[in-house]
A and B are shown apart, each in its own frame.
Chain A
């Protein structure tokens, strides 16, 4: 397989698409290639094309989670989301831009069952085991989005700058439909370059997982109070990172038999998060 190493974003964009796949830290792309879930004719190493580092409220998309978790200028909610994600080895490699684009951990998808996300005609998890799956947005696909970081960034009201546009983070995502399995709106030849992350007055990230470390969220709850207004972002509860506009949104959850237990966890963590940012 060919590896290209462009030195600018413009050059990278020119190379992307048509089976050419962007590679940053490799913690997502390499396992997907190995498992045959992603096919690539060439890998485009974007590490010289995408900004890396923290400048005030601007974060380069190539910044690693390890760099973010130790930076005192980064809001608590984001630092915690980074710290509680993956393992130190993975955080030392994984970039924040790549983290936002990671695929679901749904075991059916990972085992290449012909589900909606693979262009098939059903969600195997709904009829089968869906212990780790969605309680929101699961009309079509019941997968859960695994990114802790995305939930934190949603709560912070993050704006993204890509090679093509500027957009609120929420608009990066779309729920998959029966005729379109995409979960993001990013084009094949579009790169996330920078994140603009407002500094909140108070913020917190709470995460329920199966063990104390190195586990994807059962439910992750991010809360941030910015200009007196509290925003909530949730991880592990829907096919995409999920925004709660109010606590009442929890009443509109659509849990499956095997995911019903996630709802009380979400309620408890949301209540705790709201208490934490009310005073913090």
Chain B
């Protein structure tokens, strides 16, 4: 990692580390009711508390509300000398609440028509007719739970006004999005908003927007003339900083007896919360397999829970769990091999547009040796512990896109600086960008430095979401490096009276094709003395008329204690096709992280509410159970590493999200292989596992009678 020394020495400055002279600390008053009206709010007592400088309420900041629609909705804020003083003063804000009856059941919200948006319908072919003609039909209802992002660094911003310019230090996935959103909200020119994010401690999709903490800090800073930090506590993080919404999926598949899928249908209820958008839970059903008759409808249920936010492949994680479990139930019904079933229904070309590249069949081929292990694995089963393997396919976006820009600066010492106002959200972006520039410029990696994280010190760069950082930014960096290289070669050609076409840069030397010239780069650029070479690069367009998608397959091996419901994930083989791999170590680290986070989603994590009041019960990390290192299985990562020849000058797709997409279904399918129990609900707690085992037992007893 290019920035490992900075991180290891504690020199990397995160927003949490930002301490400005005279800085005040803000604390937020949050609603203790899932649904209520603020009839009266009075901050006078709070303003008199020790250390308090200012207070704001719903009338002062739009992100604060006088009609909180979820437990923990932000209502008011205090700025004080210390965060302890600010929190203490919150107790002195007098609020008269009018509690209202919360609606927490997403199905009931759909029945009442209480939706966040129009239902999204996607239909092709004739689903009903195909279903009627099918040899076999399998139906199932699948449920996924609310899980929380829990980045190591909580959501936070420090705001400071310098004249009419607002400086925002913030933990974000999108510097430029914060800039434009805040400028619009506050009615200032975008150029008068500077956004800085040097290092950030993870976002997973929850940090794409400014958030109430930014607006509150900006307003309190304006009122006090002092810098203000507003940082969420870990508990606030678990209340109101975003979540992966729960889903209910009622799915149907129709197939011919040879395993050809002829009809796919799904009704998806996304429990969006009080606000948010409808994630594409129907995406996998629409796109993963070849099927001419598909009908889906997706509802966004508006309920009195915290708003969802994007969370690492939103919609596809949930939808893949449902679809890929359904596929395995179909395979079991038809008694065909689950891997063969997937090959048989392979989508060779998309229903709309061709793929820029697709190597899923190659992923399946490379999965074979892992899949074969199941025969030996099953023989380990005894009366208590049952062993089995399961697999699931992955489809997701990850192509990135324009616009994005980068500059390269080559100094007279032959050192290269890459400059772009992007953010590194902890995915090793600095390293990958340095690698791309070093390779293109023909210099060792340690000659390249990457400067990012400041909207005032670099060109526009893309959001770090949708697995887009590398495919959006990498091509711009490569183009900027190529531009600088062209200029260097031009100078070298003039200096040495050679044609440009015979010159190249290799291992830090300008070399000629005949080998007669090998001159260190610094000797050529040293001719410029204090002047520098500046390269500019822009991200080119995506291929016209093509879909840029990522693919993969994962094979999970599990052991299940059928007496106590304990599930252990033993091994996961992850094979993904994401185009050219820039940094193999960074890539395998993304795969491991995705799988571990997905294991939490699959087995132990869930945000629980009190059913009567909508109070979040799992506010602390002892109640909300992230996996620990002891829960991590052996992870085998294989990447196809074949550049997408249609995709810009780099051929790389993103990898942040693909690894988390298939893991839940792969584990659930492995559990079925081991025990015969159908998992229909996440997380697979002891209770859910024992319930599924009992249901399988009943089904087995019932089966002979039904024949």
Q: Which residues of A contact B (CB under 8 A)?
A: 105, 107-108, 110-111, 124, 127-129, 131, 208, 210-216, 218, 258, 261, 264-265, 268-269
Contacts and interface: CB of A to CB of B under 8 A. Distances in A.
B628 A129 contact: no
Contact of B622 (A105, A129, A265, A269): A105
Given A210-B685, A264-B690, A265-B686, A128 B612 contact: yes
A133 B615 CA distance: 18
Interface string B433-472: 0000000000000000000000000000000000000000
Contact of A211 (B608, B609, B619, B627): B627
A203 to B, nearest CB: 20
Interface in B69-128: none
Nearest to A212: B630
A216 B622 contact: yes
A88 B691 CA distance: 33
A128 B610 contact: yes
Given A128-B617, A214-B628, A216-B622, 6 more contacts: A108-B610, A208-B566, A210-B625, A211-B625, A211-B627, A265-B564
27 contacts: A107-B617, A108-B617, A110-B623, A111-B615, A111-B617, A129-B608, A129-B609, A129-B610, A129-B611, A129-B617, A131-B608, A131-B687, A208-B565, A208-B566, A210-B685, A211-B603, A211-B627, A211-B631, A212-B568, A215-B625, A261-B687, A261-B691, A264-B564, A264-B565, A265-B564, A265-B565, A265-B686
Nearest to B694: A264
A214 B563 CA distance: 22
A209 to B, nearest CB: 9
A107 B628 contact: no
B148 to A, nearest CB: 15
B180 interface: no
B20 to A, nearest CB: 27
B89 to A, nearest CB: 16
Contacts of A213: 628-631
B618 interface: yes
Contacts of A265: 563-565, 686, 690
Task: Give the most central of B568, B618, B686: most A CB within 10 Å.
Answer: B686
A218 B685 CA distance: 11
B518 interface: no
B394 to A, nearest CB: 25
Nearest to B603: A211
Pairs A-B, 6 closest by C-beta atoms? A268-B563, A212-B630, A261-B687, A107-B617, A213-B630, A265-B564
Contacts of B566: 208
B611 A128 contact: yes
Contacts of B629: 213
Given A105-B623, A107-B623, A265-B564, A212 B610 contact: no
Interface residues of B, number: 30
A264 B566 CA distance: 12
Nearest to B619: A111
Contacts of B604: 210-211
B232 to A, nearest CB: 17
Interface of B: 563-566, 568, 603-604, 608-612, 615, 617-620, 622-623, 625, 627-631, 685-687, 690-691
Contacts of B630: 211-214
A127 B563 CA distance: 28
B611 A212 contact: no
Given A131-B687, A261-B691, A264-B690, A212 B628 contact: yes
Contact of B565 (A110, A124, A258, A261): A261
Nearest to A132: B623
A95 to B, nearest CB: 19
Contacts of A208: 564-566, 686
Given A211-B604, A211-B630, A213-B628, A261 B611 contact: no
B349 to A, nearest CB: 43
A52 B618 CA distance: 35
A210 B622 CA distance: 11
Contact of A124 (B610, B618, B628, B691): B610
A107 B630 CA distance: 25
B229 to A, nearest CB: 21
A214 to B, nearest CB: 5
A107 B620 CA distance: 10
A107 B625 CA distance: 13
Contacts of B612: 127-128
B571 to A, nearest CB: 15
Most A-side CB within 10 Å, residue of B617, B629, B685: B617
B99 to A, nearest CB: 15
A131 B611 CA distance: 13
Contacts of B620: 110
A173 B678 CA distance: 42
Nearest to A128: B610
B631 A261 contact: no
Contact of A264 (B563, B623, B627): B563
Nearest to A218: B686
Interface centre among A107, A127, A131 (most CB of B within 10 A): A107
A116 B565 CA distance: 32
Given A211-B631, A212-B628, A264-B563, A107 B686 contact: no
B628 A211 contact: yes
Nearest to A269: B564
Contacts of B691: 261
A259 to B, nearest CB: 9
A58 B608 CA distance: 43
A158 to B, nearest CB: 26
A212 B603 CA distance: 11
Contacts of B627: 211
Contacts of A105: 622-623
A213 B628 CA distance: 7
Contacts of A215: 625
B182 to A, nearest CB: 33
Contacts of B690: 261, 264-265
B295 to A, nearest CB: 36
A231 B83 CA distance: 51
A211 B599 CA distance: 10
Nearest to A271: B563
A131 B564 CA distance: 15
Contact of A107 (B565, B603, B618): B618
A162 to B, nearest CB: 29
A213 B626 CA distance: 11
A218 B603 CA distance: 15
Contacts of A124: 610
A110 B685 CA distance: 22
Contacts of B619: 111
A127 B611 CA distance: 9
A258 B627 CA distance: 23
A113 to B, nearest CB: 8
B563 A212 contact: no
Contact of A212 (B615, B631, B685): B631
A120 B46 CA distance: 29
Contacts of A131: 608, 685, 687
For B566, B627, B691, the residue with the greatest tally of chain A CB atoms inside 10 Å of its CB is B566
Contacts of A211: 603-604, 625, 627-628, 630-631
Nearest to B611: A128
A272 to B, nearest CB: 8
A9 to B, nearest CB: 32
Contacts of A210: 603-604, 625, 685-686
A131 B687 CA distance: 9
B513 to A, nearest CB: 59
Contact of B564 (A110, A127, A258, A268): A268
B629 to A, nearest CB: 8
B558 to A, nearest CB: 14
A212 B631 CA distance: 6
A141 to B, nearest CB: 16
Nearest to A214: B628
A269 B686 CA distance: 14
